Structure 1
Amino acid sequence: MPPQLVTEDLAAYWTGRPATTIRRWAAEGRLTRHHDPARRRNGVLYDLAELPEAKRNPDTRELIEPGPTPDIIDAGLLAA
């Protein structure tokens, strides 16, 4: 199954975290950045399968608890 790629804004909503946290997680190696040069803004997308889902009220969609911090994908990348 191909990855379901979402924008930074949607990744932030899905996790219940600010967009700056999504960018930091990617910089730390916790998320994979996918690039789509056809997109107008910055072309960066994130795989929904790598994003921890926030707990939200099923009726109002109000945030109850943000998703947990994901583990680093490949610790070997940071060993250099």
Structure 2
Amino acid sequence: MSGEHGLIDEGAASFYVGRPGSTIRRWAAEGRITRHGSGRGKVRYDVFELNGAERDEYTNELIAPGAPPPLPMSEARAA
């Protein structure tokens, strides 16, 4: 971790929400979560923006993935 509280790498974010890394990257591209840093292996995500997966307390086996963060509000387009 880069010393900033709450920032985790893609692998940790993926495990936390129970979804693939490609989903984490897509959420960042859609503006659902904030991407901190740039470059391979240097990107971090704020764990407090993510919804944790439901996991078995003894085996850590995934029971249900975390809900996706909401899409950002967009301004209404004039027709």
For residue 6 of structure 2, what is the aligned residue in structure 1?
4
Amino acid at match of 2:31: G
Correspondence 1:25 to 2:27: yes
What displacement does 1:43 show?
1.2
State whether structure 2 residue 69 is matched by structure 1 residue 70: yes
TM-score normalised according to structure 2 size: 0.82
User: 1:52 maps to what in 2?
Assistant: 51
Question: Secondary structure, in 3 states, of the residue corresponding to 1:59?
Answer: coil
Q: CA RMSD in A?
A: 2.0
Structure 2 gap segments, 5+ residues each: none
How far apart are residue 59 of structure 1 and its match? 0.3
Distance 1:3 1:30, change over 3 A: farther
Deviation at 1:44, TM superposition (A): 0.6
Q: How many residues align?
A: 73
Q: Any conservation in 2 of the 1:3–1:49 contact (CA below 8 Å)?
A: no
Percentage of pairs with the same residue? 47
Which has the higher Rg, Structure 1 or Structure 2? 2
Scaled by the length of structure 1, the TM-score of the pair is 0.81
Q: For 1:27-54, what per-residue CA distance to the aligned partner results, in whole angstroms no more than 9, with x for missing partners?
A: 01100001177xxx43110000001100
